[in-house]
Amino acid sequence: MKICFRPSAYAAPAISEKELQRNLILADLEKTRRALEDAYTGFDSVTDPDLIDCYIYEVNSVLKRYKFLLEQAAKINLLPDDELSAESPVNALIG
């Protein structure tokens, strides 16, 4: 039996470059938020000084990535202007 595939009216509509960029940034922000939660959970559960240092570095690394993604989101007007203000919790943590 031969099956032929052809484009149909049910095919997904083409997505614009801006929409694609928006979706990628939102997905990265969500992934980074989960990584930050995991890093804080790991930090809270260890007692060995070397592991504490490891989780401190991991938290700082993820916070820097989160800040970068927020700045990228602000560049494409994905976030309100006050999201990256001086009082922002992310800026306070990274300082």
Sequence letter at residue 88: S
> What's 12's DSSP letter?
P
Question: One digit per residue, pLDDT tens: the chain, 95 residues?
Answer: 566 666 665 656 678 888 888 899 999 999 999 999 999 999 999 999 999 999 999 999 999 999 999 998 888 887 765 555 555 555 555 55
CA 18 → CA 51, 65, 76, distances in Å? 41, 21, 8
CA distance linking residue 40 with residue 46, whole number of Å: 10
CB 39 within 8 A of CB 30: no
| Backbone angle region of 11, left / alpha / beta, with phi > 0 → left and psi within -120 to 50 → alpha | beta
